[in-house]
Amino acid sequence: MDLTKNQQQILDLVKEMNAVELNGLVKALEEEFGVTAAAMVVAGGAAAGAAAADAGASDAMNVELADAGQQKIAVIKVVKEVLGLDLKAAKELVEKAPVIIKENVKAEEAEALKTKLTEAGATINFK
Please tell me the pTM assigned to this model: 0.55
Domain ranges of the chain: 5-126
Q: What is the DSSP string of 78-89?
A: HHHHHHT--HHH
pLDDT tens digits for range 23-47? 788 888 878 877 766 544 444 444 4
Beta strand residue intervals within the chain, DSSP E? 61-67, 99-105, 123-126
Burial of 47 (0-12, 13-18, 19+ CB in 10 A): exposed
Query: pLDDT averaged over consecutive 10-residue blocks of the chain (127 residues)?
Result: 87 84 81 67 44 52 91 92 89 91 88 91 91
Taking the domain 5-126, which CATH number applies?
Answer: 3.30.1390.10
Distances (CA, A) of 38 to 23, 62, 108, 118: 14, 11, 21, 27
**What is the per-residue pLDDT for 58?**
53
**What is the per-residue pLDDT for 44?**
46
